[in-house]
Structure 1
């Protein structure tokens, strides 16, 4: 095996290259119990789980205005008949695949925020998701809203964790990022771990760039020691990927890991054709994963402090296209669920006839939701992350 010197490693290191930022950490699986035992999350501390639904989920066929004739007129073959919908009241209901969410609604642990979007909406997947993840509709910025919270509140590399090897923009800050917990990572051999030991030690002769790499390696060691006890095991064929991600989150929460924000995701919601079958399958997986996770959390003392936010970069247009799908739209529903949630409707239901060039008009700014979650769940000042003077909706009890 080649011999490593600290300076040779630091000069040529690409440890952080995959993340693009100094201070980023890829989580492996050594000694999580030690971190949870020595600095567990304080009892009663809120935990926020962010679920990103990539592709632009069709909110109109998710929270369905089954009693509105305009819905059936705009989608004569794509619409759901009233008898097929999971009724929430006399006007609206859930997609038939979302039985678990219907139960959460009945338990008053599900808030549905209607008409969520931002001013001057963009139909591009990339730009719209960038806006949602940076909370900056007016101009592009490099940092995400969770990343700015990390920058403002300290340097512990496990305060926020993304499940998966690629960090979404929402968790990137100028100085700090979330840790990336990749369940497919192969642990380092004892030989390599020994060879790399000590590389995180400071050296007064380091250049600023070398010191940044050193700091990043030190953060990686901290994360490694925090999460190792979970162990890794490949997902069985046919496993619901979102359920597998949330299962890892649940294990971390129960262990008392000092993480307050987790990020998970699923894709496939860009339903330009054959939407009804495709979306219903996706919503079924989404519903099964999230509702099972929250049921599991409800039985654990720490889990009862968990709140889930589920969102997509935009909704779809009101009228179906010629391929029995829908094209990129604007506003859509956002779900907030968990024991601390005051269930019910929030935000005005957008009109299906008073449209903006075929699109729904936004009735709730998504930054208001972020602000309340930071304030009420994370117990932090939301200003550095999403700005001041936001309007809370009263979703969190």
Structure 2
């Protein structure tokens, strides 16, 4: 067994990640049902699933302006022909890989918010994702938007759960963080688990930062017990997003008292050979999301679930010389579920009135967060996204 000192333990995620602490154990349903029975999620409580598309998804090749000549002029070889596109109306259509989402659209269960971005956009993956996850375009802040919601709503570590080995910035608050659960990691040995539990004990001499590391580890162990009954049948699936959303679905159906789940899919930095790469990724997104919603469609809690899919930025309007696209600005945000107001929201950005080759945003992403906080999480949005924001009407009445 590796020897770990308290100082090493307090380093935090590096040691914990190396030891495989953030993971799901092989478990029984009885343990999960015990927590879901003692503190189940109240009927009718909204559930938000946040899906982050890392790398900068090309929104123009996702929601395609197939009838706009400027689109074909800017991307003469990369553009999709009108007959290839899944038509949404007489001007816009979905990427051909999104057949399941096209069905959701027809059933009014897909809302597309067009032209989403923020003022003074940044082309850096890291800074732009930080802006989206902290909801603070003007200056860097240490807390994420879900983290601030956690700070304002209590201390139960199961209220928000990230599925995966890395806790994103959006889930970090000043006092509380979402719990991280990695379904692919191996369980700890009994000896190592006991050692780490001892190291995580509260010490009055700890600094606030060290105290948060200990509190975070203790919270993760609470989550480990809460989720320990989940079956791993699909957890070994080749498609990680399918596995992540399958785990979320099981938790929702079991009544686990979680209001926010975070999942992710990466690989969208398509500087070259974009068409093939993006179609593969969008096909995985499509299969995972539609399978997840179909799985919940007959469950009483299915109506309470809203899935948000976003990326840190879109791509530039013109294709590059490698049949890809470079870092851009605004792009579409997708919301799916039985409770969304299906259809288009926000104005379609012009492909000719550009900001140095980039789309001009028509919707501020914080307005989407405002409505999700207000309508799904029953929270005061001002404490999270500040004043001056508004609901967009992306959720049905």
Fold-level similarity (TM above 0.5): yes
C-alpha displacement of 1:292: 1.0
C-alpha displacement of 1:275: 0.9
Contact map agreement 1:272 1:324 (CA 8 A) in 2: yes
In structure 1, distance between residues paired with 2:275 and 2:65: 15
**What CA deviation, in whole Å up to 9, does each residue of 1:348-397 have, x standing for no partner?**
00011111111111000000000100100111111111112212111112
**What CA deviation, in whole Å up to 9, does each residue of 1:130-182 have, x standing for no partner?**
11111110111111100111111111111111111110101011111110011
Contact map agreement 2:366 2:385 (CA 8 A) in 1: yes
SS at match of 2:249: helix
Tell me which residue corresponds to 1:13.
9
Tell me which residue corresponds to 2:32.
32
Is 1:287 aligned with 2:286? yes
Cα 1:82/1:228, change in 2 over 3 Å:
same
SS at match of 1:116: strand
Tell me which residue corresponds to 2:256.
257
Cα 1:231/1:291, change in 2 over 3 Å:
closer
Is 1:95 aligned with 2:95? yes
Tell me which residue corresponds to 1:270.
269
Contact map agreement 1:184 1:234 (CA 8 A) in 2: no
Contact map agreement 1:19 1:166 (CA 8 A) in 2: no
Tell me which residue corresponds to 1:298.
297
In structure 2, distance between residues paired with 1:17 and 1:57: 28
Between 1:270-279 and 1:358-367, the stretch displaced more is 270-279
Tell me which residue corresponds to 1:67.
67
Tell me which residue corresponds to 1:156.
156
In structure 2, distance between residues paired with 1:234 and 1:108: 29
Mind listing any 5+ residue stretches in structure 1 that lack a counterpart? none
Contact map agreement 2:49 2:305 (CA 8 A) in 1: yes
SS at match of 1:13: helix
Q: How many residues align?
A: 387
Across the aligned residues of Structure 1 and Structure 2, the Cα RMSD in angstroms comes to 2.4
Cα 1:207/1:367, change in 2 over 3 Å:
closer
**What CA deviation, in whole Å up to 9, does each residue of 1:96-122 have, x standing for no partner?**
110000000000010000000000111
In structure 1, distance between residues paired with 2:15 and 2:350: 42
Between 1:61-70 and 1:213-222, the stretch displaced more is 213-222
**What CA deviation, in whole Å up to 9, does each residue of 1:222-280 have, x standing for no partner?**
2122111114468556x221111111111111111111101111111111111111111
Is 1:373 aligned with 2:354? no
C-alpha displacement of 1:32: 2.5
Tell me which residue corresponds to 1:49.
49
